[in-house]
A and B are shown apart, each in its own frame.
Chain A
Amino acid sequence: MRYAETGYILEVDLTRGNIERVETDPKLTEMYIGGQGTAAKIIWDRVPPETQAFDPENLLIFSTGLLHGTPIPAANRTAVNTISPATGLFGHSLMGGHFGPELKYAGYDKIIFRGKSPKLVYLWINNDKVELRDASHLQGKGAIETAYLIREELQDPNIQVAAIGPAGENRVYTASIEHDYNAAARGVGPVMGDKKLKAIAVRGTKDIYVCQPAELFAECLALRKKMAESDKVGDWMAVDEDDSFHHNNFSWGNARVRIKDYWSDELQERWTRLKYDHMDRQIGCYNCPKACINVISWPGRRRFGYKCYGKDTYHMAAFKELDFTYDILGIAQEYGLDSYSTPQVIAFAIELYEAGILTDKDLPGFPSDSGERTWYLMEKIVRREGIGDKLADGVYWAARRIGSGAEAYDHNTVKHFEQLPIKLGKLNPPYFLMIATAEKMAITQIEGSFPQDPLPTIEEREEFCKHWDAVPDPKFIKYFMEWEKRNEISNEASCAITEWNEAMHYLDDATGLCGFVSSFRGQFGGGVVYHMNNLPRILTLATGIEFTKDDLWSIYRRNRNLIRAINNRRGMRRADDRPPEDHWAVRDEAFEQQLLSDYYAYQGWTMDGVPRKDTLERLGIGYVAEDFIKRGILTGDEVPVEPSWKKEGKNS
Chain B
Amino acid sequence: MGELVKKTIRRIKVDLKKCNGCRACEIACSAFHAKPKYSSVNPARARIRVVKDLLNDEYVPIRATDYSKAQCDGRRVYVVDGKEYSECSFCGTICPARDLFHEPDSGLPLKCDMCEDDPPQPEPLCVQACPLNCLTYEEKEVWVEADEEQVRPAEMELGLKSLVDKYGYQELSDTFARMSQKAKG
Contact = CB atoms under 8 A, between A and B. Distances in A.
Nearest to B55: A303
B115 interface: no
B39 A228 contact: no
Interface in B118-170: 128-129, 131-132
Contacts of B117: none
Interface residues of B, number: 35
Contacts of A426: none
Contact of B40 (A157, A181, A209, A287): A209
Contacts of A157: 51-53
Interface in A176-230: 180-181, 204-210, 213-214, 216-217, 221, 224-225, 227-228
A359 to B, nearest CB: 41
B18 to A, nearest CB: 9
B79 interface: no
B47 interface: no
Contacts of A221: 28, 128-129
A62 interface: no
Interface in A68-101: 69-71, 73, 98
Contacts of A285: 22
Nearest to A148: B55
A105 B20 contact: no
Contact of B34 (A207, A225, A287): A207
Interface string B95-125: 0000100001000000000000000000000
A144 B54 CA distance: 10
Contacts of B22: 283-289
A209 B98 CA distance: 26
B31 A71 contact: yes
A287 B78 CA distance: 28
A302 B57 CA distance: 11
A228 B20 CA distance: 12
Interface in A295-324: 295, 297, 302-303, 305
Q: Output the residue of A144, A217, A228, A290 with the most chain B CB within 10 A.
A: A217
Nearest to A228: B131
Given A207-B34, A208-B40, A227 B131 contact: yes
A281 B20 contact: yes
B92 interface: no
Nearest to B36: A213
A291 B20 contact: yes
Contacts, number: 105
Contacts of A290: 20
B21 A283 contact: yes
Secondary structure class of chain B's binding surface, majority of residues? mixed
A225 B54 contact: no
Contact of A98 (B23, B28, B131, B132): B23
A281 B17 contact: yes
B40 A207 contact: yes
Interface string A267-283: 00000000000001111
Nearest to A180: B54
Contact of A210 (B21, B23, B40, B44): B40
Nearest to B104: A205
Contacts of A210: 38-41
A460 interface: no
A457 interface: no
B131 A208 contact: no
Interface string A371-396: 00000000000000000000000000
Contacts of A217: 31, 38
A158 interface: yes
A551 interface: no
A214 B38 contact: yes
A638 interface: no
Contacts of A204: 44
A604 to B, nearest CB: 40
A298 B52 CA distance: 20
A231 interface: no
A207 B132 contact: no
A391 to B, nearest CB: 30
B131 A209 contact: no
Given A205-B104, A214-B37, A217-B31, A284 B21 contact: yes
B164 to A, nearest CB: 25
A536 B41 CA distance: 21
B59 interface: yes
B39 A209 contact: yes
Nearest to A224: B131
A289 B131 contact: yes
Contact of A224 (B39, B41, B43, B129): B129
Contacts of A289: 20, 22, 24, 131-132
Q: Output the residue of B24, B51, B104 with the most chain A CB within 10 A.
A: B24
A216 B38 CA distance: 8
A117 to B, nearest CB: 28
16 contacts: A71-B28, A71-B31, A157-B53, A204-B44, A209-B39, A209-B40, A213-B31, A214-B37, A216-B38, A221-B128, A228-B131, A284-B21, A287-B24, A287-B27, A303-B55, A303-B56
Interface of B: 17, 19-24, 27-28, 31, 34, 36-45, 51-57, 59, 99, 104, 128-129, 131-132
Given A206-B44, A281-B59, A284-B20, 4 more contacts: A157-B51, A225-B131, A289-B20, A295-B57
